[in-house]
Structure 1
Amino acid sequence: MTGLTRRELLRRAAYLTPTVALGPALLAACSDSKQQSGAEGRDALDVLVGFGTGNAPEQIPTQEELAKALAAGGGSQISFRRIPDGEEAQRQLGVLIAAGTPPDIILPTGVFGLSLYLDQKVWLDLATYLRDADVDLGSFIDAAVAGAKAPNYYGPDSDVIIGLPAAVFTHTIAYNKDLFAAAGIDEPPQQWDAAGWDYDALLEVTKALTLDSSGRNAADAGFNPDDIVQFGLGHWDTGLMALGYGAVKYDPESRKLLLDSDENIEGTQFGADLANVHHVLANDQLAAGVASGADDPQLAAWKSGKIAVIDMCGCDLQAYGVDNEFEWGVAPWPKGPAKLVSTLNLDVGAIVAA
């Protein structure tokens, strides 16, 4: 980064982050660039794309167009370092840091990706730089700013900011309307916190939608769990269900996992039983059995009409939500025994401190 001060990099990165993530800051970047001397003679910003979304073929052209527009407006040239495999991206980052040649920006990365390195002090604390650059964090929703402060490590009252929010994705369930109709089952409610829509109701519905080759469902006598041709549930994070039991998995004050709490054990057991006892949940191996030969068996099983209900992140829409040969709908997550929990996925752009 010869010739670039940290402040200048921060100022440019602050506007680059939501721009590359298809956010609304392109005009702000162009406006800010008028105060700069232009991109000529500057090093290109090295942006590693590999910790999350961003490398799908349909995403790349738009990113490249926005990068060209940023440079044409006097902003930085951008060099994308694309590593589609997340684990390989993490390995490469370690290698590059050790070699003293880290990328300038990791974009996007979720809270999980950030958290992998918090105790290694990899990320630059942006708080002072953002204040000096007059970047208004009020333009982001509160949940995004809170996540960018990494309260899971630094605690809820910390002023540390280790990433600029680039995107926030909600989670719902998505369901195959055709499979519900064929089974004669009412579709899930569309209202948040609807009475009766809880974990037990989800189990009942997905039992009725899980079929063996003889047409028996998972609630029928004689159902054969070794010969399933359609699953009621798939593409599902059972770990989240413990939160509906009131589990708290991590204490940021003591920095200790709380996995041995009664709530976490009970919720984790419920999630495991969906696959191992009730046989309604397709893991990757089981999904491959109904959608053989696919690189992503969960996606292939959903698209071929072999899974009735999935967890749908907004980040999944490009893959799970388009070009389906059936009608599908969305509904809220069901309520757990203790509370109703859904999740937000936060993607940020982070700068390597090395």
Structure 2
Amino acid sequence: MTAPLSRRTFMTGLAGAALLGAAGCSPAQQQASSSASASGSGASGSVTVRLWDEQVQKAYDASFAAFSTQNPGITVKTVLVPWADYFTKLRTDVGGGNADDIFMMNGSYLQPYVTSNSLLEIGSDFDSLKSDWVPAAVEQYTRDGKLWGVPQLTDGGIAMYYNKTLLDDAGITPEQLTGLVWAPDGGSADTLLPILKKLTIDSAGRRGDESGFNGAKPTQWGYSAAQDLQGIYYNFIGSNGGQFQDDTGAFVFASDASVAAFQYIVDLINTHKVSPAASNTNDNGDFTRDQFLQGKIALFQSGVYNLKNVSDGAKFEWGIAPLPAGPAGAVSVVNSVIVSGNAKTRNPEATTAVLKWLGSGDGAKFIGSSGAAMPAVTSAQQAFTDYWSAKQVDPSQFAKQGSMPSISAPAGENYGAAYSAWKPIFNEIFLGRTPVAEGLQKAQDAANKAVSA
């Protein structure tokens, strides 16, 4: 089963350290790969492209097959490295001079590669293409006036996938999912929790809002609350007016607003029992998605990055509903992914030719036409819309959310080290073993110490 784009864009699985010093052997020969010959630029040679998503790899293979008709002198090979090992292997291979010519990159990990001069600048050679790139993606990957990758994938906002059969069984209509509100203090202002309780069932068939409900013996959960940065907790923080990082990159998630957001999520899991236990989800970023596809979660909060997974895997009628709003509104996190050129590539001319192809509408349309992801190349986005229109699926909810206020995506020089510092503490918070306010302060202190170390 392919890794979801939530883990393409943010760290929700195994963290990688941020330093680029250790040497090591290239894993290229050890990983799944696929080849296509390619070169109309006049360049020749071989180029390897490393990425972490199987569905996007298939789209790239198709793209490079088209590239090969124009560029018969270049051989292009895609290299698939699983997400759990991706940035650990990339750090080692870049540090040892053995990395692929081009590799997929997310914003959380970018800065160390910029600082160590490990990336090719996307300079004036690309000027004719840049106007076709999503501006937010260009901005996200620009440092000191220089762009360090070619935009490839962009997430709109976050929304909720729903299982219509489970809604019907609970007497809930899809229309009732529009305009839902969560409130830190609960009460009548909270319209989300009553829906989630009604959609949760225990082994005796009692729903979460019925007397005698036993949340310790679930057969169906209402919601996918979990330690999911992109799908869950960044959005709750933002919709409560909080921040995860400030403008300097310092971690500030122990503020009152963020504490209230985390408390709400943790209570959904441990008090109201409307979401799976953290023992299932803390170290398995796919758990809630898989349970949704198995018909055991009614509302799965995620992004366009899981649209293909849901379409391919769901054996029930499903749809997409808006993100619940908090006191600050429905605030979502938006993120993009790039491909970066290796500054130590042995074939810079051919590498540049492939990067230009991937940054063109002709090259990027294969991502959209596969339905795997929304291209960050604007002229290629119609192919994505056409793909889903043919399947009678309307993904516009993600774009609508993406045009609304957002919370900044994670970033930083030593973000990987910070993640490693806070993750074990977050695990205890979500398990209900550490009080939220106490744990977040401890995690924030550890994260900021790791960044400054």
Q: Is the 8 A contact 2:57 2:80 kept in 1?
A: no
Change (3 A) 1:169 1:243: same
Query: Within 5 Å, which residues of 2 pair with 1:137-286?
Result: 137-149=130-142, 154=143, 158-170=144-156, 171-188=158-175, 194=179, 197-198=181-182, 200-234=190-224, 237=228, 238-240=232-234, 241-252=236-247, 254-283=248-277, 285-286=279-280
Rounded to whole Å, the distance in 1 between the matches of 2:225 and 2:263 is 18
Alignment of 1:310 with 2:304, yes or no, is no
Choose from 80, 83, 105 the match for 1:82.
Answer: 80
Check conservation: 1:148, 1:162, Cα contact below 8 A: yes
C-alpha separation in 2, matches of 1:295 and 1:334: 21
User: What whole-Å deviation, never above 9, does each CA across 1:297-352 have from its counterpart, x for those lacking one?
Assistant: 43332122110001131111221222422111111101111222123231211123
Q: Which residue of 2 aligns with 1:105?
A: 102
- Could you list the runs of 5+ residues in structure 2 that have no partner in the other structure? 1-37, 184-189, 345-453
Q: Is the 8 A contact 1:189 1:331 kept in 2?
A: no
Q: Would the aligned equivalents of 1:235 and 1:283 in 2 still touch at CA under 8 Å?
A: no
The structure-2 alpha-carbon separation of the partners of 1:325 and 1:184, relative to structure 1 and needing over 3 Å to count, comes to: same
Match of 1:331 in 2: 321
* Aligned mates of 1:323, 1:339 — CA distance in 2: 31
Alignment correspondent of 1:12 = none
Offset at 1:178? 0.8
Q: Which stretch has the larger CA shift, 265-274 or 295-304?
A: 295-304
Percent identical residues: 24
Residue 18 (structure 1) aligns with: none
Instruction: Trace 1:49-128 onto structure 2 (pairs within 5 A).
Output: 49-50=51-52, 53=53, 55-56=54-55, 59-74=56-71, 76-83=74-81, 85-107=82-104, 109-114=105-110, 117=113, 120-126=116-122
Structure 1 residue 93: deviation in Å?
1.4
* Distance in 2, Cα, partners of 1:277 & 1:122: 47
TM-score where L is the length of structure 1: 0.74
Residues 230-253 of structure 1: per-residue CA shift (max 9 Å, x gap): 00012753322111111122123x
Distance 1:77 1:341 in 2: 44
- Match of 1:7? none
Determine which structure has the larger helix proportion and give its number: 2
- C-alpha RMSD over aligned residues: 2.8
Equivalent pair of 2:192/2:324 in contact (CA under 8 Å): yes
The letter of the residue matching 2:221 is F
CA contact (8 A) 2:224 2:299 kept: yes
Contact 1:234 1:283 in 2 (8 A): no
**CA–CA distance in 2 between the matches of 1:297 and 1:242?**
22
What is the alpha-carbon distance in structure 2 between the residues aligned to residue 64 and residue 81 of structure 1?
A: 10
Deviation of residue 70 (structure 1)?
0.9
Report what 2:125 is aligned to: 132
Deviation, structure 1 residue 255: 2.9
Of the candidates 35, 44, 47, which is equivalent to residue 45 of structure 1?
47
Partners of 1:190 and 1:330 within 8 A in 2? no
